[in-house]
Structure 1
Amino acid sequence: MNSKYLMSENNQPETRFNITPDEKHLYLQIRVFQPITNDLVIHLVRAIVQTSRSHKLQKQLLDLRGIKQLQKSYQLYDPIHHGLMNFRALFKFQIAIVVSPSETPPDFIQTIFVKNGMNIKLFEDEAEALTWLDINS
């Protein structure tokens, strides 16, 4: 398991995200628990690449349900673009992003990934995301 922690106001660690292989070791399950910021994007991209390499998995299910985006989408462009350029391994991955139906889907973020040649798609339903990843669960 790969988790990144951030210290809270009372000096207790708060999990920012969690990355684990699924039970059948077919894909990585990535859950984000903190609002999307430049810092989170940089650490998350690095952890996804490292964990994917160590488990030899190229499919990821990224769960962003209920996460607020504190920064404007255009403010996230640079760290995402930087992450893509520095972690070329991401281009081999197939990433399904699950978002809450009540949240405005981060279309801008998907556009950045797609325009940079990545195989990524947004979903509101986890089962549809797994079907797209071609995972028989």
Structure 2
Amino acid sequence: MPKRRTRTDPAAAPCPCGSPKVYGGCCARLHRGSAVASTAEELMRSRYSAFATGEAGYLLRTWHPRTRPQHLDLDPGLEWLGLEIVGSTGGSPFHQEGTVSFRAVYRDGQEEGELRENSRFLRADGAWTYVDALA
């Protein structure tokens, strides 16, 4: 008799952001709108997870209105493999702005690459938003 594959619940899988929590108890709460990021780093991690899980709507909602694109097409062939936070400034629950430097590893087909960015975040209507990448 052939073995039946069991479908893994994505909410029970490890969170793509690298936290020790499962996705359902970490970034999925932000993606669903049942929680908001309390720090710039938490927003950055949730945005990385949104790229990894295909949550384009969340990415647009958490983009600062001044720099938000009209639409966002995610590349379904891109696989995000890991996130490393390199450093940050500001961005606490008591700040209005902050930066988060990170390194994200991805696979595009058979080729691996990395994205390094120093992202800038501002509060808009009290919520953390992604503004842009600093040069």
Q: With structure 1 as the length reference, what TM-score do the two structures score?
A: 0.31
Query: Normalised by the size of structure 2, how large is the TM-score?
Result: 0.31
- Point out the structure with the larger strand share: 2
Larger radius of gyration: 2
